[in-house]
Chains A and B, each alone.
Chain A
Amino acid sequence: MSGQGKYIYGIIEETQPERFSFLGVADAEVYTINLQRLAAVVSDTELNEIDPTRKNVLAHTVVQDQLLKSYTFLPMSFGMIAGGNDHVVNVLRGNYQSLTQELARLSGKIEVELKVFWDQQAMIMELQSESKELVRLKARLNTTSSPIEKQNLLMEAGMLVERVALDWKTRYAGKVYDVLKGMSADAKLNNTIGVKNILNASFLIDQSHEADFQKEVYVLDSQYKGKVNFKYVGPLPPYNFINLKLELAK
């Protein structure tokens, strides 16, 4: 691919060619490639693939956040590169009707994301209340010289932690998800990230309801404080609620 590659951030409704004031991945200029009422927001790249480093992911996110301020926006996932201008136009043309429908369906809606993690201090306290098993495990870990036994003991300890985590997942994470799902147009469970994460969920909400939604998150957070920690991110473009998969086959 010679300098013609187009990194795609997403699709907006826009009839006029636009050049934006913010920069994209690798500090490249961000602009639109238009077809009738639709436009793909892109920047030029000479690469076939972009590494998901923190810097690149951040650049991708910043562009999408900026676009979300002014447009209903269909975001592309990180790393979508088309072969050139014509390729982008063909993708727009080939999916014109479904893209227009999705933009209409998601108009005025935003995505927010909530992650819930178990609290390390709370986990230690909880395990101490089941002290017998814990004391036994710790004592044997301190005295054994066999690496295999050590591995087995750690596995047992891991299962203890997992048992508590699973209990909290049902008791806290499940409830949080149900309450917030009830306030949303749509909701989705994502894969959890890492050991401490017991809920990773995305919610599609009306932009006008965001304040109420946040208020409910604060209420739930204060209800379960001390056991689990909340991480709320939003507003985001509706990544998880697009019913359309764009193929970039050339």
Chain B
Amino acid sequence: MITGLLFDILFGVPVTLSKEIMLKIRDEIDKERLITEESIKERLQQLQLMLQDGELGEAEYQELETDLIERLRAAREYRKQRGE
């Protein structure tokens, strides 16, 4: 459960503060330690939905996408090194 979303529900913090939301998502991503390719792709899909719904701004989405693609490349590299 995304902490930011819980705060929104409990205290009515507007969800349009996308810079703030982005920072929260980045925290969540760090905490969850997304390391499998599947989990990174799933998170990308989720962010694309948030962008479509206007919960995330274009610039913020782009930054997060760049982060996640970097992670994905690292995960692929790791898989190759292990010879999987």
Interface on A for B, CB 8 Å cutoff? Answer: 49, 51-54, 57, 120, 123-124, 127, 134, 137-138, 141, 154, 157-158, 161-162, 191, 193-195
Residues of A within 8 A of B45 (CB): 193
Query: Are A195 and B1 touching (Cβ within 8 A)?
Result: yes
Hey, which chain A residues are within 8 Å of B11, CB to CB?
A: 138
**Whole-angstrom distance from the CB of A160 to the nearest CB of chain B?**
9
B5 beta carbon closer than 8 Å to chain A: yes
Q: Quick check: A193 and B46 within 8 Å, CB to CB?
A: yes
Main DSSP-derived SS at the B contact region: helix
**Complex contacts, A134 vs chain B, CB 8 Å:** 10
Is B76 in the interface zone, CB < 8 Å from A? yes
Contact size range, B: 20 to 34
**Are A194 and B1 in touch, CB under 8 angstroms?**
no
Chain A contact surface mostly: helix
How many angstroms from the CA of A123 to the CA of B1 in the assembled complex? 14
The answer on a CB contact under 8 Å between A158 and B6 is yes
State whether A141 and B10 are in contact (beta carbons under 8 Å apart), knowing that A53-B65, A193-B42, A195-B2 are contacts in the complex: yes
Partner of A138, one of B3, B10, B73: B10
Given contact pairs A158-B6, A194-B46, enumerate 6 new A-B contacts (beta carbons under 8 Å): A51-B73, A120-B9, A134-B10, A157-B9, A193-B49, A195-B1
- Shortest distance between the CB of B49 and any CB in chain A (Å): 6
The reply to whether A157 and B10 form a contact with Cβ atoms under 8 Å apart is: yes
Q: Can you identify 24 A-B contacts, CB atoms within 8 angstroms?
A: A49-B76, A52-B41, A52-B72, A53-B69, A54-B51, A54-B61, A120-B8, A120-B9, A120-B15, A123-B9, A134-B10, A137-B10, A138-B11, A154-B6, A157-B10, A161-B1, A161-B6, A161-B9, A162-B1, A191-B42, A193-B42, A193-B46, A193-B49, A195-B2
Known: A161-B1, A162-B1. A54 touches B73 (CB 8 A): no
**Known A52-B44, A53-B69, A124-B12; contact A195-B5, beta-carbon cutoff 8 A:** yes
Chain B residues contacting A138 (CB-CB under 8 Å) are 10-11
Chain B positions within 8 Å of A, measured between CB atoms, are 1-3, 5-6, 8-12, 15, 41-42, 44-46, 48-51, 61, 65, 69, 72-73, 76
Shortest beta-carbon distance from A190 to chain B in Å: 11
B residues less than 8 Å from A52 (CB atoms)? 41, 44, 69, 72
Which of B2, B10, B45 has its CB near the most chain A CB atoms (within 10 A)? B10
In the bound complex, CA of A162 to CA of B1 (Å): 9
CB distance from A120 to the nearest CB of B (A): 7
Distance in angstroms between the alpha carbons of A51 and B74 in the assembled complex: 12
Which 9 residue pairs spanning A and B have beta carbons closest together? A158-B1, A194-B46, A51-B69, A193-B46, A157-B6, A193-B45, A154-B6, A138-B10, A52-B41
A154: chain B residues at CB < 8 Å are: 3, 6
Residues of A contacting B3 with CB < 8 Å?
Answer: 154
Smallest CB–CB gap between A77 and chain B, Å?
11
Chain B residue nearest to A138 (CB atoms) is B10
